[in-house]
Amino acid sequence: MTLPYQPLIDLAHAHHVSTSFTDWKGVTQAVSAETLSAVLVALGVDPADPAAALQDAWDAPWRSTLPACTTAVRGTARLVWMHVPDGAPAALAVELELGGRRELEQVDQWVPPREVDGALVGEATFRIPGDLPLGYHRLVATSEGVIAEAPLLVTPAQVRMPDRMGDRRGWGLSAQLYSVRSAGSWGVGDLTDLTDLGVWAGADLGADYVLVNPLHAAEPLPHLEPSPYLPSSRRFFNPLYLRVEAVPEFAALPSRARARITVLGRRVRERAAGDGIDRDAAWTAKREALRSLFAVPRSAGRELDLAGFRRREGAALTDFATWSVLAEVHGNDARTWPAELRTPTSPAVASFAEAHADDVAFACWLQWLLDEQLAHAQDKAVATGMGIGVMHDLAVGVHPGGADAWRLGDAYARGVSVGAPPDPFNQLGQNWLQPPWRPDALEASAYAPFRDMIRAVLRHAGGVRVDHIIGLFRLWWVPAGQEADQGAYVYYDHEALIGVLALEAARAHAVVVGEDLGVVDPAARDFFASRGILGTSILWFETADSGPLPAERWREACLASVTTHDLPPTAGYLEGAHVRLRATLGLLTRPVEEELAADRAEQRVWLDEVRRRGLLAPAPGGEEETVLALHRYLNLTPARLVGAALVDLVGDRRTQNQPGTVDEYPNWRVPLSGPDGQPLSLEDVFASGRAERLAAVLPHR
């Protein structure tokens, strides 16, 4: 590959775009000039004249009185610059979020003035003290009567476990909620099922948390995207997960309307009795039922509560609801709408929202119901003695034509999508078809879109798992039209993003777990640990010197488990199901026999290690015994949290998701099943002796 010429390399570096990367084989690969140019354009930079664009990048900070956004860590002082005409006086103060003002001390640090746009600009330096309170504050600069302001974020040094956990270790189960169906759910696991699952796990099994797949909002009408990791919005939730009968107004329905809802639910359950998750059928029936409930008069107190919810959520909720109604009329992808409707602030959108006010109100009402049912699930989980309760999963990004991409506009980059370079399990690379945040736009907004998203996810939760958390350091941007391996890393201000994450977690008294699998710089893992963010350790991936990493050398600051949702359940993994599936789908780069042999060899060294520890007999009695032994091994590690997948508790074998595929495999549409492949109900799970046996080997409170 021909290296791009030097000015383009310099321009890329100035905008925090990497011009090379180290692949999973340890080989350094150069990024093509074509990719660099496309990525720079997506960042709003014209690469046609790299030298001129580079000069503009160097001059840009000197055109600003203050940095666009400054992040500090409580307990640690830091410096901040202020630009004024050369020789002019400078003063800087902090206006605190909850009131009050602090004047900042100027530091005697000489910086040469710089000529920008024909004028000399000087730089003054001030110290931000380490004793400022946590919060979203404002820097106020004054020079010769001119005032400028900019955000100051003071963030916690560390995320801490909820007080309920104390210093103990804990375990929890992970579940794909849509796949966990009860006798009362409408073909898709819902928030009442989550509540019941949490009560069972906490009260009967001694678990401290239930980790569920992302519950982010999807499309308002079929066809619904099956992947919970490609949502329409990460700021709002998916009404597919509502339990219709749990809405208080259900009791006030006239008998005929209630009978109609009963029939709708029964039909969906009958249709869902076989294999496969049919979101479209479930939501079509559920939406009709919820429309009937929306028409039921609410009590005065509930009307006040709904009005308060809408005020608190503000314009973001109204915009989301408006997008939802627009999507019902014009389709789920806003990129295909009439031009005048593609911007939320346009007069055409305002007119549409006014003409469809009742439909917009319905979409807002659905989010209010979700808020109620999510709160109930968390309250019931904590009431069992769980130290954490519900732990939500945060997807990497959103659909490019979805609600967030529409309402947040330039906060997302255009003409590129997020993915991952090739790795051992995805040897062709991955393209997740999601627009990335623009680093400059996030900074200019003081990270408000990110803050609001985290705050919403943690509103009724004791923790959050951040999928692909390394994306807060860097993301693999793939230009439109390029293959997944032809991308480049774009770097973000991780101090700011992790700081906001830590601040919102502190305010919610929640724990943060980062999914830091794959190609991750060890320095990034060290940084996460220093900020109290737990990593993710999967048994099969914990290796050292071509062998298992001894339990004692595992990280303490992690959530340790045997498997993850991107691998088959452990019973299937032991059979090599992941290799055979990838072979069937054409995702291997070498013959299947070689892959199977390599996989068996990797498993063998791990099973030998488990036997060496006395956890597994030389000739195990069966697959369940091996699964139990692997989970017992987790107890030997210092990991603060231990996880067991619900599929492992019941002996399921089928893969939920095969990365690198869309419809080639029924990703995210596989119901929870037993060892025989037959779907299990939640009631079956509660009666499972296998689940009790696995839970019994995990650390209990």
Q: Which residues pair with 149 in a beta bridge?
A: 140
CA atoms of 641 and 532, how far apart (whole Å):
13
pTM as predicted: 0.95
- Do residues 101 and 27 both lie within one domain? no
Domain assignment present for 455: no
- Do residues 129 and 87 both lie within one domain? yes
Please tell me the predicted confidence (pLDDT) of residue 446: 97
Residue type, position 344, single letter: P
- Do residues 566 and 617 both lie within one domain? yes
Q: Mark which of 587, 608, 639 sits at the end of a domain.
A: 639
Domain assignment present for 493: no
Please tell me the predicted confidence (pLDDT) of residue 545: 81
CA dihedral 306, 310, 311, 316 (to 10 degrees): 170
Q: Which CATH number does the domain housing residue 94 bear? A: 2.60.40.10
Please tell me the predicted confidence (pLDDT) of residue 582: 87
Please tell me the predicted confidence (pLDDT) of residue 4: 54
CA atoms of 691 and 175, how far apart (whole Å):
13
Q: Mark which of 590, 605, 639 sits at the end of a domain.
A: 639
Q: How many domains does the chain have?
A: 3
From residue 27, alpha-carbon distances to 22, 23, 24 in Å are 5, 5, 7
Domain assignment present for 558: yes
Structural domain including 573 reads: 535-639
Q: DSSP assignment of 60-112, as one string?
A: GGGGSSS-S-EEEETT--EEEEEEEETT---EEEEE-TTS-EEEPEEE-----
Mean pLDDT, each 10-residue run in order, the chain (701 residues): 72 96 84 96 95 95 97 98 96 97 96 95 97 98 94 97 93 98 97 98 97 98 94 98 97 94 95 88 97 96 98 98 98 97 97 98 98 98 98 97 96 95 77 94 97 98 96 96 94 97 98 90 91 97 90 97 94 91 87 90 93 90 93 97 98 89 90 94 96 94 77
Q: Mark which of 135, 155, 175 sits at the end of a domain.
A: 155
Task: Count Cβ atoms within 10 A of the Cβ of residue 381 and give its class: 0-12 exposed, 13-18 middle, 19 or more buried.
Answer: buried
Domain assignment present for 141: yes
